[in-house]
């Protein structure tokens, strides 16, 4: 029997491990079976958001049903952590006389170590092991500088990324065709392995994600609409949180329900010269996918980032005050700065936050409140439906000034001017802060003077003064310059 182990790759499209597994099953006339093993304690240890766990469960059931139609059963098991997961996978291999295991690699250090241990376990039992890469557009380690090292600045990385993409292209796995070939081969499934009839239910803590459609609807409706209507205005609209100016595809990329290579391939079909012309409006969105590859390459080349280390070591000695009262106010969206509070409300209510606002609230936490970026990173991980370690770590270290190609320490977002610039009429603020719905477009961005004069208690006071906080941040960071 051939085994395909599903992890963060819950899709049939452009799935290299699944393609190889199905092809080998046909060539050897052996049945193919899929496996998923949840790890509730490991997910909790890694602060995986309950809403993302629910989202993953929904998509795993979708994949299970599609595989069942192709005569590929999906075995579901539960293990508390990665060590137990290896034991479960080994047991399944022995029970079903598995001859070869296929999987798509995961990037994070604990996952890499787990897979290495699992490979050794399989070798001990004379079982073949094959792993593939499915989470980036260009292979990790392929985009390097002249010294054959990882770029530490994004812009030259982007230039080389485009050059490699143009000259070498990229391969899309024809996994759907391979599965059809397997189905048509009509290979018998041995006794004891049956196509699953019921739904898979995780034992891990979950939070309802039903406001986010399944990938089938996204592929048929949302992606075509984005490419046809929204993407041409992406450079102008992407920073406006009150409108649908972004793709909102990040949750699907995070769990592997969507292939980044497929997205680029579709974009190249829609805009054939997109790789050659960075001035095109559509390139603004491709740029975000290149940023995603950049951060994943960073984690690949510097795995110690998985342990929440500063990329820039000179900031290792920063003694963050980490005031508990200020951190609590930030988490609850009660800082007294409307754009920060509305963004945090959006996160708590929806499990998602607009990208511009992620930068604003991260800058506010680290530079206005002088709270360690790792605490913000953890809070995002616990609540975001689209969280993945590479992007989350890269974004927080960028905001804190401790990362690779980071925002310099002296660049400190003014939350009031950010609000005025990107939500000028207060539409977004009023949606998540109904306490301020009656304030004028001018006053809503920082209503404290009006509140004081009219003795209104509709909104909480500002927990820090912007000017004073900025000066404190500069002094704090200068100690390490």
State the burial class of residue 200 (Cβ atoms within 10 Å of its Cβ: 0-12, 13-18, 19+). Answer: middle
Rounded-to-integer distance, Cα 341 and Cα 439, Å = 16
Contact 115, 19 (CB under 8 A): no
What is residue 405's predicted lDDT score, i.e. its pLDDT? 85
Return the half-sphere exposure (C-beta side, CA atoms, 13 A cut-off) of residue 238.
18
Look at residues 95, 89, 92, 101 and name the one whose alpha carbon lies nearest to residue 126.
101
What is residue 331's predicted lDDT score, i.e. its pLDDT? 98
Global pTM value: 0.96
What is residue 198's predicted lDDT score, i.e. its pLDDT? 85
Rounded-to-integer distance, Cα 175 and Cα 216, Å = 17
Contact 6, 72 (CB under 8 A): no
Q: What is the radius of gyration, based on Cα positions, of the chain? A: 24
Contact 401, 320 (CB under 8 A): no
Q: What is the pLDDT of residues 206-254, one digit of tens each?
A: 999 999 999 999 999 999 999 999 999 999 999 999 999 999 999 999 9
Look at residues 100, 185, 132 and name the one whose alpha carbon lies nearest to residue 19.
132
Token pair belonging to 396: 């927080």
Token pair belonging to 395: 């974004």
Phi and psi, residue 371, nearest 5°: -110, 135
Stretches in the chain below the pLDDT threshold 70: 194-196, 452-457, 481
Q: What is the pLDDT of residues 49-98, one digit of tens each?
A: 999 999 999 999 999 999 999 999 999 999 999 999 999 999 999 999 99
Contact 175, 259 (CB under 8 A): no
Cα dihedral 44, 55, 328, 463 sign: positive
Q: If DSSP codes are grouped into helix, strand and coil, which group holds residue 174?
A: coil
Cα dihedral 454, 455, 459, 461 sign: positive
Which residues are known binding-site members for FAD?
234, 246-250, 285, 288-295, 386-388
Partner residues linked to 132 by β-bridges: 104
Cβ-based neighbours of 29, under 8 Å, separated by 6 or more: 185, 187
What is residue 452's predicted lDDT score, i.e. its pLDDT? 66
Token pair belonging to 133: 């890469």
What is residue 194's predicted lDDT score, i.e. its pLDDT? 58
Contact 461, 336 (CB under 8 A): yes
In total, the chain counts a number of residues equal to 481
DSSP state of 214: P
Hey, what domains does the chain have and what are their CATH numbers? 2-134 (3.40.50.620), 135-173+215-301 (1.25.40.80), 313-478 (1.10.579.10)
Contact 347, 383 (CB under 8 A): yes
Q: Rounded to a whole number, what is the largest CA-CA distance in the chain? A: 81
Which residues are known binding-site members?
234, 246-250, 285, 288-295, 386-388
Look at residues 247, 188, 258 and name the one whose alpha carbon lies nearest to residue 223.
247
Q: What are the b/e assignments for 283-300, b being 16+ CB within 10 Å?
A: bbbbeebbbbbbbbbbbb
Rounded-to-integer distance, Cα 289 and Cα 234, Å = 13
Q: What is the end-to-end Cα distance of the chain in Å, rounded? A: 59
Token pair belonging to 446: 């920082």
């Amino acid at each position: 029997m051939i085994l395909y182990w599903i992890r963060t790759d819950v899709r049939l499209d452009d799935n290299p491990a699944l393609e190889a597994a199905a092809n080998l099953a046909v060539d050897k006339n052996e049945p193919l079976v899929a496996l998923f093993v949840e790890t509730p304690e490991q997910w909790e240890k890694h602060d995986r958001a309950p809403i993302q766990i629910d989202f993953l469960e929904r998509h795993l059931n979708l994949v299970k049903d599609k595989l069942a139609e192709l005569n590929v059963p999906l075995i579901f098991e539960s293990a508390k952590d990665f060590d137990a997961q290896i034991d479960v996978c080994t047991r399944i291999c022995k029970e079903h006389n598995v001859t070869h295991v296929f999987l798509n690699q995961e990037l994070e250090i604990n996952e890499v170590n787990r897979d290495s241990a699992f490979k050794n376990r399989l070798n001990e039992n004379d079982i073949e092991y094959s792993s593939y890469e499915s989470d980036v557009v260009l292979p990790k380690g392929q985009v390097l500088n002249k010294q054959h090292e990882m770029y530490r600045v994004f812009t030259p990385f982007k230039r080389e990324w485009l050059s490699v993409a143009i000259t070498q292209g990229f391969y899309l796995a024809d996994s759907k065709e391979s599965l059809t070939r397997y189905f048509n081969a009509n290979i018998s499934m041995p006794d004891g392995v049956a196509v699953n009839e019921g739904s898979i239910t995780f034992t891990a803590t979950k939070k309802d994600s039903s406001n986010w459609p399944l990938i089938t609807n996204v592929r048929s409706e949302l992606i075509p609409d984005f490419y046809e209507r929204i993407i041409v205005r992406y450079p102008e609209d992407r920073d406006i949180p009150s409108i649908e100016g972004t793709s909102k595809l990040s949750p699907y990329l995070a769990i592997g329900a969507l292939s980044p290579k497929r997205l680029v391939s579709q974009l190249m079909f829609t805009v054939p010269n997109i790789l050659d012309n960075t001035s095109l409006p559509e390139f603004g969105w491709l740029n975000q996918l290149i940023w995603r590859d950049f951060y994943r390459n960073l984690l690949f080349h510097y795995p110690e980032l998985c342990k929440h280390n500063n990329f820039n070591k000179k900031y290792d000695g920063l003694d963050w005050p980490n005031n508990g009262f200020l951190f609590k106010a930030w988490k609850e969206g009660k800082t007294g700065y409307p754009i920060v509070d509305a963004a945090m409300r959006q996160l708590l209510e929806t499990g998602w936050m607009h990208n511009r606002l992620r930068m604003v609230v991260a800058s506010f936490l680290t530079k206005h409140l002088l709270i360690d970026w790792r605490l913000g990173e953890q809070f995002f991980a616990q609540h975001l439906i689209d969280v993945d370690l590479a992007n989350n770590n890269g974004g927080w270290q960028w905001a804190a000034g401790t990362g690779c190609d980071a925002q310099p320490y002296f660049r400190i977002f003014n939350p009031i001017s950010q609000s005025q610039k990107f939500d000028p009429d207060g539409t977004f603020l009023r949606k998540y802060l109904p306490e301020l719905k009656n304030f004028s477009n001018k006053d809503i961005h920082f209503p404290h003077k009006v509140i004081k004069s009219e003795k209104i208690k509709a909104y909480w006071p500002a927990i820090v003064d912007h000017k004073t906080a900025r000066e404190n941040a500069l002094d704090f960071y200068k100690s390490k310059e």
